[in-house]
Amino acid sequence: MKNHACEYPGCEKSFTRAEHLRRHALNHEQPHNGLTCERCSVHFRRPDLLARHMMRHEKRDKEAGGPGLGVLNTRKRARRARDGTIVMRPSQREMRAARSTSAPSYSDSDFVEEEGEEQHVGEAPLSPPNSGSEPTSISIDEIDPFLAPMVPGGPFEPYAEPIPGQSDAADGSFNVGLDGTIDSFGMDTATDFNLPFAATCNYNWLFDVASLDDAFHHFDFPLGFDTEPFPNALDTGYIQPIDNYDGPSALLEVASRMNKGQESQVTLSRVAPEILKLDWMSGPSFLGPNLRPQLPQLCENSRQGILSLVMQTSPMGIDGQPLTVDSPLLTLGALQEYCDLFFSRFNVTYPLVHQPTFNPDIVDPVFLGAILFMGATYSTREAHQLAVGVHDKLRNQLLCHQDFSPQPALWVLQTMLLIDCFGKMRAGPKQRESAQLFHCVLIKLIRRSNCCNIQDLPHLPRSDGLEQAWRQAMDAEQRKRLAMHCFMWDTQHAVLFSQSLCMSAFEIRSCLPCSAAAWEASSAQKWEDLAVGEINRPFLTVLKGYITPGSVSRPRELNAFSRTFVLHGLMSVSADLKRRDQITLRSETPERAGAWIPRMSRSYDLWKVDFDADCLAMKLAQTADPRRFTALKMEAHALYHAACLALYVEVLDLQIVAGAMQILGRAVTPADQSRSQRNILRWLHEDFGSSTAAARHASHLLQDAVLSLHDWDQKDAFHFSWCLYLATLACWVFHRGMDFSSSEGRLSVDLSSLIVMMTNCPSTTELTALSGKYDPKPLVAAMAQQLASVRWAVVHDAMKVLVGLS
């Protein structure tokens, strides 16, 4: 009921909430002529709306590189004309009606141009449209064929998961634009409540087209370095200090300045002496400092809190007997080992908890327990069994905690993410099924928080408040990384396990993570010294640089975590485009199904070009720890090749034709087997381009894995073993086809020779000729042995499939 009526004379409006009435009353209190933006002539009747508009200008300026450089698109129709009068720009519907009836078009003298029309040809705004922004090619009153209200559950999706970006009135996220600004009045309430973040207008922005189907016809962009050669691609006159670069980057900057003709004495006098003195072989590492900070130390009080927590769960030992408080697995030394393993292994691969500010003496025992027992999974089988037993009850402890609420504290969200990760990737089928449900709750709470909208680095204060500023900055960084890790694991499960996407890349409106050096800084002063040189790079803008290179320059300098996160962004877009193909009726345009695959493959290749350049720079600098460097390279390469493989073949079909009897707890039916066999036969004998592309990526993944076999601990990256499994299946099917019964007529060859032959075929034709020629049993046997040592039920089931094939 609209019980709050406006009392202004002549106004008959009423509202359901008092705050809406108070906001409306501001319209009557302002002078009749209102307020006008000096930059773009947009007219407002209230100062709060003008202030919000100016904040958006500032945001665009910051993204574009400096004051006055940003371009802001707005749906506001009221403008102040050159003669001072207020005019209304025609709506999209009115202009379409005018065109359809051949009515005279509106001229520039009738109204002031929209900001978007002031751009030069070929340019595009650096920020994606807000949730309420008007799409490029479709208005809000038209039906969008790409949007569907529901995602149909496939045969291997046992749970109803949220649609990417789906929100409801309780989320508090439906009115937040993709640039982090509030856009409460962009659309009607019902539309805002139900609009997915991955709307068509967002994809039109990402691909820089008026209609998404137009994005996949001509995309022949080169693999060269269309990147920012130094942190600011715009010529602002600002010169970054040379010591903020590693050697190759410094040389790149000088080369870029020379290419632009900036050879003035002033520029060279500042840069050249620095370069000549620079020992670039000792430059800083992209991975951050090699010396790890001192690990957190547990005390007896911390142990007592953990013992109290453990005894409530009644854990059982690996022998089936109940554990007691005096068990060797629960001594202070054992718990300290679990803590060390968490921070030296898990938190290195997945930098989630800020180690320098973490104090085990003051954190909640439930949070500390989630950390310790995640670390225990890297220890002995007995410790891992204990961790699984505690995990089964840890979720209940958290849900019943007094701090658990619809908008929980950071530690609650971190604990939930660790429990979610443990259940999915460090335990058995029972824990995985529970984690699948828990995952939806976690995402809902992340959307209610500000974790997806961490934008700017905090202002650096004077030394008296430096400690507090450091802790606040690292709190914000942890929130950002929490949402990013949840997004990455969600994306991996969508692409590598054929699960439904629960998060969309368009939900991550944050800037990319800070550098490893700033993240690992052991004190506020060290952090301040590093934070001065940090550059905010909006994730979605960087992602657009890989999908539409001509519109946005790709930044040359990205830290390792940021680079990996961008790859997950590309994977998420690919998974969502695949979903759109599955739910869109294309009876008249069947050729458009899968039309996006070549373009996304090219985007993956662009990413790998930049990533490999980073790896070469790190190797030349010789400052990165060899094992850590190898781990970084192999984790990313495996994910890249597996993501490309998933572009060209359905991974579920590979598993089913290989003989998997169940997938993620769901039994494979005869109908599933028949469908997958038809798909694989078509893939092998009709779609040669896809089958050879998938086989090539699979063989490169296997070759890299074998070459680095003892150079790093492959079990630290949870996805790596699964990527090996998928690559092995792809090679098996490529060589054996659908004939699994006999090896007659095929040449017997050792593992090394088979992989080398596949990776060194100079042409697709020659690689196709290898199909069905060799027996891949040695490959399958070797990979089964490799997977046998992984303590993860999903990988254990995969190992059984490979044993059956060999």
List, for residues 222-271, the tens digit of each pLDDT value. Answer: 665 555 543 433 333 333 333 333 333 433 443 343 343 444 343 334 43
Buried b / exposed e along 437-463 (16+ C-beta atoms within 10 A)? ebbeebbbbbbbbbbbbbbebeeeeee
43 in the Ramachandran plot: left (φ > 0), alpha (ψ -120 to 50) or beta? beta
DSSP for 164-231, written as a single string: TT---TTTS-TTB-TTS-B-TTSS-HHHHHH--SS-HHHHHHHHTSSSGGGGGS-----SS--EESSS
Using 50, 70 and 90 to split pLDDT, how confident is the model at 514? very high
Q: pLDDT value at position 110? A: 40
| Cα–Cα nearest to 603, from 217, 229, 222, 231 | 222
pLDDT at 275 over 50: no
More confident residue, 50 or 274: 50
Q: List the single range of 3-7, 88-92, 478-482, 633-637 with lowest mean pLDDT.
A: 88-92
More confident residue, 639 or 55: 639
Q: What is the mean pLDDT of the chain?
A: 76
Rounded to 10 degrees, the C-alpha dihedral 706/649/486/368 comes to -40
Residue 4 three-state SS: strand
Listed in sequence order, the residues at least 6 apart from 721 whose beta carbon sits closer than 8 Å to its beta carbon are: 714, 715, 786, 787, 790, 792, 795, 798
Residues 421-431, mean pLDDT to the nearest whole number: 91
Residues 140-154, mean pLDDT to the nearest whole number: 33
| Cα–Cα nearest to 515, from 500, 536, 498, 492 | 536
List, for residues 521-574, the tens digit of each pLDDT value. Answer: 999 999 989 888 888 899 999 999 999 888 888 888 899 999 999 999 999 999
Highest mean pLDDT among 33-47, 453-467, 757-771, 779-793: 779-793
pTM: 0.73
Q: pLDDT value at position 235? A: 36
pLDDT at 195 over 50: no
More confident residue, 279 or 65: 65
